[in-house]
Structure 1
Amino acid sequence: MNNLNPPGLDKITTWADDMRVWPNVMYGDVYNFLISSKAVDGQEMKNFKSLQSYNYFQSGNVGAITHHVYTDNTFLMRAEVRSSQTVSRMNSVYVHSTQDGTVKNGWCSCMAGRCHACSHVGALLWKLEHAVRNSLTGIACTDESAQWNKGTTRNVEPKALSNITFKKPKVGESVMDNNEDYVPSVRDTPLFSSDAEFKAAIKNSPISKLFEIKGTTVYKSFNCTPMSNVIIQEEHGEHTSISSCRKCYTFFNKYIELNDTKRKNLEHGTKGQSSSVLWKDARKLRITASSATKVPIKDTTDATSFIREHLHPKFTGNKYTRHGTQQEPVAKEHLRSLENTIIDTGMYVSTEEQWLSSSSDGILNGDTLLEVKCPVPTKWNTLEELINGGKYDVIKTTEGHYQIKVKGSRGYYMQIQLTMYCTGLRKGKLYLWRCPDDFILINVDYDQEYVREQVQRLKDFYVRKMIPRIVDEVDSDRLTFSRLFCNFMR
């Protein structure tokens, strides 16, 4: 067997170029593989020099990444990485990982490739980490192909990730011959609000000794004086309205408030929705129609988890969102075949409440909001069976009409009502789709009183709890914006 290539490479015939489904590789995963994982001799690699591979990635030496999905739903990532010694030579690099980001092994055609953790392997991992950290990966029902990973055009859609069995290699077991080798991972890397909080967490972590090695970049970074903003931070005022706190109001005017022209430009420039960087930045600053159902109802409920996930999302998709991504275009095309017109849309910001936005699945026949749902068949075979089960957000009346539950567990009613509020449309349709022979179109009328109550509740939450947190995150450089968004808001 060639140790420079992954086992069974010659049997792989299909490679996909779809970064939406890249594994969720984070900093802890890169560190664990390069430093803590076991080499062929069973000892920890401790390849600290390979951490310098970040420079390879930053210098643009990593080509387009493609991937192959194994039968156990793990990923083999492939890319060409330019050699540091001979710039005309490209090294073939492979990384084997799980969907959650655990790096299982790496291979490279360079001279150091037999160690499985050379700088070229590290460079590929840093590109994956950069994409995940900047929300360039992940699947939503309105996703389109991302443009950041430019390169090949071969495309084979992977299947959903199923449960993976992890195990630790036994003593004497060859990790090279075993595709089940396991590398532990630091998951859910926390976000620290202060330098003191970060240092306290490091001192109590298993890797604390790493930060005590003098002369290393890690040691210097850990012991340096925390960077402070040049601008003296202004204190918050009362949060009874958008304008009651001068600090938040200044931020609102700079990054959130839009005139009519910018609102139209935002809608036009974000039609790619989750594949648009502008869309991602703009929605982080607002409550959205789809996230409104997750906003805590009681004032006493801790909102930390909701706000953290909204600003720094970790969710990158599951089998339900993947199913929706695959089926939504099919469902819309079927609707068009029935002599309907569907206009794809971007982000709509409410003209009255600019902290609220929505992104619909389209406008049907010029005057009707369209919301597409493609439920995954589990314990039911038809949409009728799903609805009759009583747990879905749709009910069937005694007259035989379908209606959306106002307090359904999935929040369809609130999502559609708030989307109509943001778009200005007063008619809506919920489009349930399973196949051409099994679909349901449900009329949804605008509920003005319901919308008024929900908008007021959400506004109170946004003013008192959400915008102060957003402003603080930006002040502390934990929340940053793309250059595209900053230029758009000028």
Structure 2
Amino acid sequence: MAKSNKDCLSYRDTLDTSVRLRYDNKLKLIDGNDPYELKNWSDNVDILPGITYMDIVNYLLFTPSAYTADDLKSYKGLDAYNQFVCGWVRERTAIGFEEQVLVTAKVLHSQRLREKPLRPWVISHKDGVVKGTHCTCMAGLGEACTHIAALLFSIEATVRIRNSATVTERPAYWMLPAAIKNVPYSQLTDINFTSAKGLKRKLDDNIDQIYDTPQASTSAVCSKLLPPSPHELDTLFKELHSTGTKPVLLATIEPYSNWYIPKPITSSFPQMLTDLKDDSCMNMEYTKLLELCVNIKVQTSPEQAKEVEIATRTQSQSKLVSIQGRKDNGIKCQVGMQHQCFESS
């Protein structure tokens, strides 16, 4: 069956006139070649341009838009590393020209993961300065979509590994996120819930360790650090306590944990209503439960009532609300109800 006219059109021919003009201007950087028509792609990482994080920032934020002449200011693009670290960038290839390098890849959609992947491409000078970009998504016409940014982050991480030297003097490309074609359904036990920021931080730390690793024997590199001595730990805890703040670490270490006891517990507050809870009453008959409640007496002295009144004058701003709130929906409910009782009596 013969192909329709639409199927015979190239990607460039499907663009609007104004967009096509801008598209052609970018292609002049690579001798007028259309990336979607080229065949001689290579996955050799040595071809990749030396793009750094600052090159990505400069392009996404400060490159003048071809349509408005204003800076792109694509702050959202700086968060596109989450697509890269999650493996949404795959089949990255490149072609080298005289001064420029053309890099392309397949990137999954941001919301529709099972649709055909998008095809962003980047034209960069060999030293890393980004000259032009494009993507087959709608936002790609603006040249600053998250798919383009994800490709840039993929290039940046690969170049860092390429330019580093490991103990074996071989680039550790195994550190890069494994590419995925789709996101299958999985059991909770098989899902990695680490945030994108955490994955990016771990990747950066692993790559940085390559730079910091001395060219020594394997035994020296793999040596383990000794655990701190009790004296060293005690010195650390004392120095943390002397800062005047409340590091959460000390909340579980005596005697420093005494400083973390919430004020409502240490002050002369009346008995909290939650203290009356008795699990044995869960299956008690209604009449017996009423009899038990009648015999419960909550005694509150004038001094305790005054403490509650002072503590609840500014409930919405009081830190006591958040401190005691962990116990049962907040002191705003517990102490506030008691305060109303005091006022009515």
TM-score of Structure 1 vs Structure 2, range by shorter chain: 0.3 to 0.5
Structure holding more strand per residue: 1
TM-score scaled by length of structure 1? 0.30
TM-score scaled by length of structure 2? 0.41
Larger radius of gyration: 2
